Chains A and B, each alone.
Chain A
Amino acid sequence: MDQTQLFAALFASSVAAGMLGSLLGLGGGIIVIPVLTLLLGVDIRYAVGASIVSVIATSNGATASHLKDGIANLKVGMLLETATTTGALIGALATAAIGGRPLYLIFSVVLATSSVIMFLRRNTDETPNLSNHRWAARLGLGSSFQDRATGQTLHYGVAGVPVALGLMLVAGIVSGLLGVGSGTLKVPAMDVAMRLPMKVSTATSNFMIGVTAAAGAAVHFTRGDILPMIAAPVAIGVLVGAVVGARLLGRLRSSSVRTLFVLVLMAVSIQMAARGLGIQI
């Protein structure tokens, strides 16, 4: 491939990353990083820099376009951000102390387990949990949204707030340490602990990941990890894809979103296991 074709390939995969990311509440690093390292031979340092740009672009684009649909639970997002940002800070500070490879393996096992639990919870999509945890009632976290796939207004409560905060702290630490896993841990935590409807979990994850990534982004930007000629097609492509994906999220059935998420989670689990074994993908 010549340079123009490589550029086009990077742009196209960024659009795909943005679409998938905004549908599933992920940052798109799972697509952007392998494309850069395997296809373009970019050093992992610059690939992670581009991935952070991808996460923020997904978060900005997706949230801006599905904010009016009211799917994302902003209050839940703001509350959980306290834990994710704290975790990200701890993770960034601890990077030097812990070796990466065993961590990738643990991360891989966690993802595989979450994908199984999330698959088992697939029957909850039509009848959401209505009870609120004490803290959720106090902070008015319960809400509703109009599900355009079924035409129904879905009311839901928010369970397990302390557990979710704990899991978000861990999610933040892991993403601070590994530079990955922005959404892959957040969505299962909201699904399993808070028992939120699937679409609410992915949309709220989209809302949060930009903030978590922004903290790390400043460090990467100053250090020169973000190459302009790589970041440009990634940012534009992801933004376009995220807007399209956000429109799709409203129309897709929760069960379809869940199935897609479980499949992607399994793929990332394999990707992380490979990294843990020293294969860089």
Chain B
Amino acid sequence: MSVQMWTYLFVFLSFGLYIGIAIWSRAGSTKEFYVAGGGVHPVANGMATAADWMSAASFISMTGLISFLGRDGTFYLMGWTGGYVLLAMLLAPYLRKFGKFTVPDFIGDRYYSQTARLVAVFCAIVISFIYVCGQMQGAGIVFSRFLEVDVTTGVIIGMAIVFFYAVLGGMKGITYTQVAQYCVLIFAFMVPAIFISMMMTGQVIPQIGFGSELVDGSGYLLDRLDGLSQELGFATYTEGQRSTQDVFFITAALMFGTAGLPHVIIRFFTVPNVRDARRSAGYAMIFIAILYTTAPTVAAFARTNLINSVSNAEYSAMPDWFRKWETTNLISFDDKNNDGKIQYVGDAEQNELTVSADIMVMANPEIAGLPNWVIALVTAGALAAALSTAAGLLLVISTSVAHDMLKRTFMPSITEKQELLSARISIFIAVLIAGYVGMNPPAYVAQVVAFAFGLAAASFFPAIVLGIFQKKMNKQGAISGMAAGFIFTASYIIYFKLINPAASTADNWLFGISPEGIGTLGTIINVAFAYTIASFTPDPPDDVQELVENIRLPGEA
């Protein structure tokens, strides 16, 4: 059976599964729509959190980026996993004890202020919206490359599927489809990784193959990769190029951001109690770690394989996969010295081959000559990753509008039925806008996606942690902290990424911190503002201090 047939089969089967789950898990109440009724098993919630969390970027792009960054790629690995330690110990159990539906619920009640609630709604919508556009775009690209439909058709198919289960099932539908999507995506990621590890090192477990000798007798994988990189004038794979302080700040920004992303936090509202919230953070960490410890191994395998396959090879003798990816411009060859061979070297003057980072996961099975069904599996996995994250984000947008803005702020008299209807309508509108942006991506969307982390780090993360651990933190402190952190981080990123990208070099950066890492400074600014302002303004009222006392203790919510 051809790759094309396998791809259709896998995509068809997985989509059928998602739709089946959606019909089975329709939501009848706002509690079901917002938090899946609050009765999700911690293992199921762990899987759903992992799928919610691992987006098209984790699945497709991260491995490729690490492959080209070498050791510097570490900030993605540690940053996107280390945040779960913070989430498990500083946020998840307390927010579950608090026991409402959304992050603005907590901010608004804890800081006894509608202004705080609305600031939180604004931050949640901006962060989630930036992020969801990237997912839609990712889904569109995967569709167009593998199913040979155009990007617009691809995005429409993706929209229709997400729309179906998100509108019908709300959090309940999303949770159980995410469980299925986790299984699809982890299987699709691990199978090629295991194949390649076995082929190159004879080890079944990629994490062990990573530190093993190659079967062709050329020594340890990482030593060989360092050697090849040096020979060809690339940076040594296991050594860092970026400044230590920049790597430090980027890692911290990704960790704080992970712990402050509303679509991840609300997953912990869906379990029955505080104990299960802690447990499901543990399961989520394990499920995520399976992919995150495998990604760097695939990065090293794929990079070695790529160099071995193309370096100094005759262009005319390149196999099918090379031509296929050339037509999508993900690989391009320019025979500068007209010798008909591919010079793939570090020196930009002489290098003849340009390879996009995205190709490393998508083309890796083909480069390694794996069976057709394995190649096709990657498509289903990438779509599962994109759609599961998109659905989680859309839910945040819809709850922010229907629950936080309408029910809790502007129209408190609406009935539960009306609230549910407005949640469905707002998900519908959000899907349409995200789909439109996915079809007509402004050039900057992809660049801005990573910065959702910076914004979450600088706004929600400190406001929530201070709200739990500092009983005396008041509304003035929290609001000014969130506003200062958000505005500082957003301006820095907008300046270096949108207004003046040419100036974005280490010399011009504040303390040598890149826009990717500036969220950490935003977090510090947030905390500094919060403490300073709070020390000049009155303490929070007694009932709020009691609320804080109460969420710190175990027991029923």
- Does chain A bind chain B? no
